[in-house]
Structure 1
């Protein structure tokens, strides 16, 4: 079966990658003390991170809806999944070398690897994905509230530990440079699947429309998003680090 790519979705994914690169560029400037920003508490930066990850996972969910509709084989799925998982491992190793006390053990690629399996198994659930997405997102905030006080507070230390905090049902954020747990982010990806299925069924022309001038570069970037994600930070760190050394 032919596996058609849609430039519009690739361009949207490319936009998320460019936005992420700008965010990381300023993060690196801050790391090398060329600017002063609080990336962990300032709402300007924390909300940007939320929006960037949301856009990326929405695109990933829409991509899975399209792949499912086009009859993607499990063999093809596992080949792509293995690439994501391998890159997640590289991120862990690289971040441990640079941030040994806050290395990334469950960042966006780790979360994506797990969510891809869940989404693959549930992509045909149709409209239920809207409700499941809402419940997945809500569960994070419900768990946070329950773990603060009351009978469930005794579970806080267990769920906050590295062994279980990949679930996202925590009362205290872990010390790590990137953290994208299963909940609430699976809900965002489920909404991406539901959105992609709706567009394919009711508005397929949105995906097939001609690209605006200048958008082809974004689409090309979106087609190589995994490679871009893996390489952009080492390049930015080298550039910013060089600037810091020269200054």
Structure 2
């Protein structure tokens, strides 16, 4: 039985929403550039150029970290399992929509385990481990390290019998791969669970000794980010169709 933390109310915290909103705005700019490349307006290598690959890593890290913080705060506020599952169904349902939409646009490289698919799995783990507190800093580091240690071992040829199975579609969602699958978005359990665990650990601290930071007044300039972060799931699902539709309309108009 979860109990509310005496240091928290059941209200939302603008600071958490603003961080999530920042990740969404940064992601939108990244996806807009990606779409420009897709439609031939601007040529960039989003799959190999470090300028773009590192941006993707940082955006995703910020998004997953803030999701972990949000989950820890929700648990501290006494969020019930039924309410958790209602939100989880929304995330999982949107993940299926992303799969369908990407299959229509990229049939050879559609998204079958992207950011929403990964978050749906990680949220369950985060919920079950949210009470582990500071131990999650260590577990997060281990989750990230395991990814690179395992890949090094698999690349060495010591476990060649497992390589094909781990690279295959049935198990590559674990992240223990030696080659990236052909898909437009790929967010496996490892190492990204480590980032969410760090977010949960930070959120646990903010829900206890650091609770005062959650109540700090957000500067007016950052309030739009908080509003975006408050509706992050809807924003995530809609932003790409809107931008792609706009670029397609521009293309038809030019023709």
- Give the secondary structure class of the aligned counterpart of 1:20: helix
Report deviation, 1:238: 0.8
TM-score, structure 1 as length reference: 0.97
Report deviation, 1:126: 1.4
- Aligned twin of 2:213: 206
Match status 1:159 vs 2:157 = no
- Give the secondary structure class of the aligned counterpart of 2:11: coil
- Aligned twin of 2:204: 197
- Give the secondary structure class of the aligned counterpart of 1:21: helix
Report deviation, 1:151: 2.2
2 CA distance for matches of 1:146 and 1:217? 46
* Residue pair 1:29, 1:35 contacting (<8 A) in 2 also: yes
Report deviation, 1:181: 0.4
Deviations 1:168-194 (A, max 9, x none): 000000000000000000000000000
Report deviation, 1:7: 0.4
Report deviation, 1:244: 2.7
Match status 1:239 vs 2:229 = no
1 CA distance for matches of 2:14 and 2:236? 19
- Aligned twin of 1:21: 28
2 CA distance for matches of 1:244 and 1:187? 42
Query: 1:47 aligned to 50, 54, 57, which one?
Result: 54
- Give the secondary structure class of the aligned counterpart of 1:83: helix
Matching of residues 1-20 of structure 1 within 5 Å: 3-20=10-27
Report deviation, 1:77: 0.3
- Give the secondary structure class of the aligned counterpart of 1:170: coil
Report deviation, 1:98: 0.3
- Aligned twin of 1:107: 114
Report deviation, 1:207: 1.2
2 CA distance for matches of 1:8 and 1:117? 24
2 CA distance for matches of 1:205 and 1:126? 18
For the aligned residues, what is the CA RMSD? 1.0
Q: What is the number of residues matched between the two proteins?
A: 247
**Unaligned ranges ≥5, structure 2:** none
Runs of 4+ in 1 over 6 A off after TM superposition: none
- Give the secondary structure class of the aligned counterpart of 1:214: helix
